[in-house]
Amino acid sequence: MRPVLANLGFIMQVNGLLMVIPIIIAFCFNESHALDSFFLTAVVSLIAGFLLNALCERKELDFRYSCMLLTIAYFLIGLVGCIPYVYLNIFANQDLVSRFTDGYFESISGFTTTGFSLITDVDVLPRSILFYRSMTQWIGGIGIIFILLAFFYPSEEIAHFMKTVGIERIGRSLKTLLALILFVYTLYLIIFAPALYFTSISDPVKAVSLVFSSLTTGGFSPLKDISKLADYQVGLILGILMIAGAVNFSTHYWILNRQFRRALTKEFRLFLAIIIAGAIAMYWLTGLDPYTVLFHTVSASTTTGFQFTDLARLGINAKLVLILLMLIGGCTFSTAGGVKVLRLIIFLKAIPWLVKRAVSKKVEPFRLEGTVVEDVDVVFSLMIPVLALALLSVSAPIFFLNGYSLIDSLFEVTSAFATAGLSVGIVSIFMPLGLKWLLIILMALGRIEAVPLLIALGLRVRK
């Protein structure tokens, strides 16, 4: 356990250093109270990091320890990340328990790229807090997992860990891959933040925050007037960014290298087909205008969570379509949540393959697009949707017993587990504390995913 804590210390140090960005923004806008909260967050994160490094032995981690580090990191970084919300008392809570719960809820929602928010009026927030909320999505969606891969994981076992968390290896060096990812995301920021600024988002901080929220499929909106999302120009930009964040990063890699055929993988084609099919179904079931239907379908499929219409008014069938879209989610090796499209493909193909294997021993190895998939990866792809359905079937009745309809309860817990953030109105500052903590757990489990969590708890992987 000591190597895990030592390496966790490094993650905390990186998180503390990243706090320099909101500190600078708070200083530029003369937001002294917010500035104090960011300094406190940075100091706590750095001190915790240095202590963990000093008291524990730093070593490379094996498969199980890396899964443990991934699991602990999200809960701990969310704990430190809630300091600005609690310090500023963003939610105007009278008692300390509610104050901490709401702050931790907002923090975990950001770091898991869910986008559930208890904040009712973002215009009263300091601009630095708006940026900080979006930055937590970037740290949780991109930063933590690649810090693990690039610095902690032993090279002889890294391939299996990458498959487990849905990451495809491109090139020889993980650090080079990390640099390439940061370059591509920075390029999107440079292109689309000014584009949003020159449409109807005249605040540069809000424009940058929107790019962060959509590209990381996080969904935190810095806009009080959500009708701006109904603007066709804004919607087109956000739609491009949401899909870009939800597709496998290898798609960006092959497009940059002008290898367009390799970019059009089976997973990518099916992902687009799911969006189109979902939009057609939603249009037929709701009768809403095509733009509204397509925007919310993309938002659900990419697990981003932007919305500008009241989803509570939708019929049961329309809500079921959105639930299915969120549960499937985006592509592997992306910031999107859900079961992931590639795992759905393996799941559907593996069932008849397993039946043939049970009947006859002379069965060819399982293949996907000509590549042999190891048995353990097939098992993982079967476990994830089954475990997800089991978890949702236990969680939804808890909301139902608190007075919400069964379909709305299922919608909300699916949105949390898929880190989508779409809501039918249950998520609010007035929600009971117990339900808030249930959603906190679901959001964290959805981002960590079931297999790494089970391995962290002691599941042994055998080929």
Range scoring the smallest mean pLDDT among 115-119, 317-321, 378-382? 378-382
CA–CA dist 173, 244 (Å, integer): 23
205 has pLDDT over 80? yes
As a whole number of angstroms, the distance between CA 84 and CA 230 comes to: 31
Mean pLDDT lowest among 347-361, 385-399, 428-442: 347-361
Are 228 and 201 in contact, with CB atoms under 8 Å apart?
A: yes
pLDDT at position 168, please?
52
Considering only CA atoms, which of 175, 77, 150 is closest in space to residue 447?
A: 77
φ/ψ of 262, rounded to 5, equals -70, -25
Q: What angle do CA 427, 436, 455 make, to 5 degrees?
A: 120
Residue 245 near residue 336 (C-beta atoms within 8 A): yes
Calculate mean pLDDT across residues 347-358: 77
The 3 state secondary structure assigned to 304-345 is CCCCCCCHHHCCHHHHHHHHHHHHHCCCCCCCCCCCCHHHHH
pLDDT at 214: 92
Stronger pLDDT, 49 or 302, i.e. the higher one: 302
Low-confidence winner among 189-198, 219-228, 302-311, 420-429 (lowest mean pLDDT): 219-228
Q: Which stretch of 135-139, 271-275, 297-301, 414-418 has the lowest confidence by average pLDDT?
A: 135-139
Q: Residue 34: is its pLDDT beyond 60?
A: yes
User: Average of pLDDT values for 245-251?
Assistant: 85
The pLDDT of residue 375 is 67
Please give the mean pLDDT across all residues of the chain: 84
Is the pLDDT reported for residue 221 higher than 50? yes
- What's the pLDDT at 328? 94
Segment 216-229 mean pLDDT: 85
Question: How far, in Å, CA of 109 to CA of 78, rounded?
Answer: 9
In angstroms, the CA 168 to CA 303 distance is 20
Q: What pLDDT band is residue 145 in, cutting at 50, 70 and 90?
A: low
Over range 320-336, report the average pLDDT: 91
Q: Which residues pair with 372 in a beta bridge?
A: 367
Reference 375, options 383, 362, 365, 360; nearest CA is 365
Q: Identify the residue with better confidence: 229 or 358.
A: 229
Give the residue with greater pLDDT, 185 vs 272: 272
Q: Which residue has the tokens 């927030």?
A: 125
Long-range contacts, stretch 351-355, CB < 8 angstroms, 24+ apart: 353/378, 354/378
Which pLDDT value is given to residue 154?
Answer: 47
Selection from 74, 56, 60, 71 nearest residue 6 by Cα: 56
- pLDDT bucket at 164, cuts 50 / 70 / 90: very low
pTM given for the model? 0.89
Q: Which of 440, 418, 383, 449 is nearest to 145 (CA)?
A: 449
Concatenating the DSSP letter of every residue in 428-454 gives STTS-HHHHHHHHHHHHHHHH-HHHHH
What's residue 70's pLDDT?
77
Query: How many beta carbons lie within 10 A of that of residue 449, not counting itself?
Result: 23
CA–CA separation, 201 and 204 (whole Å) = 8
Least confident of 92-101, 357-366, 414-423: 357-366
> Please, which pLDDT band fits residue 355 given cuts at 50, 70 and 90?
confident
Which residue did the predictor score with more confidence, 380 or 115?
Answer: 115
Whole-number pLDDT of residue 153: 46
- Per-residue pLDDT tens over the stretch 35-88: 999 999 999 999 988 888 777 666 666 667 777 777 888 888 999 999 999 999
Residue 354 pLDDT: 74
Least confident piece of the model among 141-145, 234-238, 407-411: 141-145
pLDDT(293) > 90: yes
Give dist(CA 195, CA 10) in Å, integer: 36
